[in-house]
Structure formats: structure tokens, C-alpha cells
Amino acid sequence: MEFGRRALLGTGAALGLAAATHPAAAAPPSRVLNAADFGAVGDGRADDTAALQKALDRTFAGGGTVLMLPPGTYRVTRTLRIAFDPGSTGNLGRRSGIIGHGARLDSEIADGGNVIELLCRATVRFVVIEGLDILGKGRERHGIYVECDGGGIYFYNFCLRDVNVQGCGGDGVRLVGNVFEGQIVNTYLRSNKGCGATFAHGTHGGILSALHVFGCVFGQNGEHGAALARNCYDIAFHGCYFLLNNQFGLLAGNGCTLLSNCGFENNHAAAADFAGGGYGIRLNNFGTLVGCTAYSVFHQTGLIQAFVAGRLNMMGCTGSGGSKAAGAGLARIGGSQAGRATLIGCAGAVQYDNNFDALEVGGPDGGVRFGAHWQSRDLPQLGDYRLWVDRNGRLRIKNGAPKDDDDGAPVGAT
């Protein structure tokens, strides 16, 4: 079921966060530092780890500082760590972060550490990472790891923009815990051994929520394009593309707030064939999809496989395939007795599991398709009357909900 983020946080924490979010948008940085002034060379040969760490320590020692990385290739051999310790004021009120258009971090981390690690043990806002390119070698862990997990601490109003993360041994980006009200924009997450991105509630009560992902590409990752883990669900993807990932384009085990104008192409690249493949999205509980598409010529079998316990709404979505995936369709949907699904103006074959059905409006055959079984969640209703088709193929009607297949009366009976 969907729950409000404020309710999950609890009344006291929610009031504290609400009070903190009222100030105006972040002011521009008060100063700009240059990584070259700390000894970073960026020639692809020198080990720039120590110089970059020193520059980051200075940048995040107080609010309102941005670190510029001039174009170049910066070799790093251990994790670049940004830490906000308990009691820190973070960077409240002023934008802080890293600007690195044309700058690449070339990871030679061999101990399983993350390339950039931001550990938040205080309330922090307005962190920006922009224009940075991270190239892994598969021996590090995640490309960018952000953790803010615990009571009374929050990481919010952040932005990852124009970032490229590829080749890492774990996820391209992993965000964990009390990470709120942030944006990931025009970011490319490719060929990582884990997921392109993972969004997760924490293990100590941290709730990840209200994140928006715009125009990003999740491609050729070893697991999923993106995964919503530990019951996280409050993510919205807009105009994103998920393609050629080894498993699902998107795995959403507890639902997903919104997918709009997103494309899913040729996921399940690790499957042996079309019969062993799967859908672009695997979703449980609830979700809303608007204008999303799926196309496959290999192993992806359709747009979405869903088990619906809340509500699934799909509008203007399509699913199709060609060549080896000529049988690809739109959706495979099952669910609980409480689940409801509505499909409006969608195209592509729909398969239902265990007598689950949806209300389909303007589907491939036009008109409106209601449920027909007496236990259907979407029986036609005329005022208080319900209509259904019994096991003998007769249309039946009853004032109120039917209690069994023989309830009510056949239509036209005297």
C-alpha cells in the first residue's frame, strides 16, 4: 500500500524536516576552489587521490564552496570520502559540491571501496555533483555511494547532473536512507557489474523518498538498470531509457510512484532466449505508468510484469517486439483481492494470472473491457447492479455484489 512519507517519518521528525525545508532555494556558492591548487594533475598518470581528498576536505568543511575539477583524467587508488559528522551543520543555505565537466575519475581502487562515498551523519542540503565522469575497472564497489541512515538526520535538495558512471564493480549510483527531495538529471549509468542505480531505505530507519530522475540512461548493467530496494517506492522517472541490462530494466519490489515517457528496450540480455527472458519492469504493489514503451528483438517479453496489491494505472503505454521477440506484448498482471488495475489507451497483449483482470479502456480492440468472473474487481455496474458471465456463459445481474457464480438472475429471465 502507498503511505505518505511524512507518516513514515513520524510526527516529530516530519515537523523538524518541514521546518528545515521552508527557507528559500540555495544561494550561489560563496567561493570556488580549484583542484589543481591542491596538487591534482589530471594527466592520467599521476596518482591524484591524496590531492583530491585534500581538496574535498576543504570544500565540505563549511557551506557554500564548490570544487572545480579542470578537464583531465584523474587517477584514484582509494575511496574519495566526504563525511558529515554528528553535530555538523552541513552546507545549509548555500550550494556546495563538485563541478567537473570534462573531468574523469579513472578508478584503480582494488580493495572493493567506493569511488566517491558521501556519509551523512548530520542534516545536509544543496550538495551538487555535476559533469563528472567516473570510469571503473570492476574491482571497486559503487561509483557514487550516498548514505544517510538514522534518526534525525537528512540529506536532501541534492542534485546529480550530467554525470557518467560506467564499469564499476557494484552499482553506478547507490542512495541509501534519509535521502529526500533530490534530482538525478541527464545521467548515464552504463556497464556496471551491479545495477545502474539502486535506491533503498536504510537498515536503521532511514526512509528514501521524493526523488525525481530526468532523462537518464540505464544501460548494459550486470543486474538491473535500476532497483528500488528495502521497500523503497517513492521515486519518479521521467523520460528515462532502460536498455540491454542483464535482468530487468527496473525492479520495484514495493511499487513505484511514477514512470512517465520511459522506454524499455531489449532487457534480460543475460537470458538464454526469448522464452527464458522477462518483462522490462518487475513491479509489486502499486504504480502509475504514463506514455511508457517497450520494444524487443531479443529476450524482453513486454513492458511490465506486476503483482498488484494496491492500484496499477497505465495510460497510453505500448509493448511490442519483432524478430526473435515477435511475441512480445504489453503486460502480465496478477494480484491480490484488494488489487485494482486500470489500462487506458494502451496497446499490446495483456496476460492475466490467477483470474486477476483489469478495466481496459480503448485497448487494442477498442471499447471497454470489464471483468467477467463473479469475483472480478471490475464488474460492470449499473447503479447498484452488477453484471457478470457465469460458468455456463450466461449474463447474470444482481442488486449488490454477487456472493457466488449462481447469485442473482440471468439477464432476460422471466
The verdict on residue 38 lying in a domain is: yes
- DSSP β-ladder status, 250-252 and 263-265: unpaired
Q: What's residue 13's pLDDT?
A: 38
Beta partners for residue 79, in sequence order: none
The verdict on residue 226 lying in a domain is: yes
Average pLDDT over residues 326-330: 97
- Write down the number of H helices and E strands in the chain: 3, 39
Residue 402's CB is within 10 A of a number of other CB atoms, namely 20
Question: pTM here?
Answer: 0.88
With contact defined as beta carbons under 8 Å apart, do 129 and 163 qualify?
Answer: yes
Q: What's residue 14's pLDDT?
A: 38
pLDDT in tens, 88-143: 766 556 789 999 999 999 999 999 999 999 999 988 889 999 999 999 999 999 99
One-letter amino acid of 98: I
Q: What's the domain range around 221? A: 7-232
The verdict on residue 131 lying in a domain is: yes
One-letter amino acid of 410: P
- pLDDT above 90 covers a percentage of the chain that reads 71
Give the pLDDT band of residue 79 (cuts 50, 70, 90).
Answer: very high
Give the pLDDT band of residue 371 (cuts 50, 70, 90).
Answer: confident
The verdict on residue 44 lying in a domain is: yes
The verdict on residue 263 lying in a domain is: no
* Chain mean pLDDT for the chain: 90
The verdict on residue 32 lying in a domain is: yes
Q: What's residue 392's pLDDT?
A: 86
> Which helix (H) or strand (E) element contains residue 54?
helix 49-59
The verdict on residue 179 lying in a domain is: yes
The verdict on residue 65 lying in a domain is: yes
pLDDT in tens, 128-162: 999 999 999 999 999 999 999 988 899 999 999 99
Report helix, strand or coil for 203.
Answer: coil
For the ranges 27-31, 74-78, 250-254, 393-397, the lowest mean pLDDT is seen at: 27-31
Q: What's residue 91's pLDDT?
A: 58
For the ranges 9-18, 227-236, 276-285, 390-399, the lowest mean pLDDT is seen at: 9-18
Q: How many domains does the chain have?
A: 1
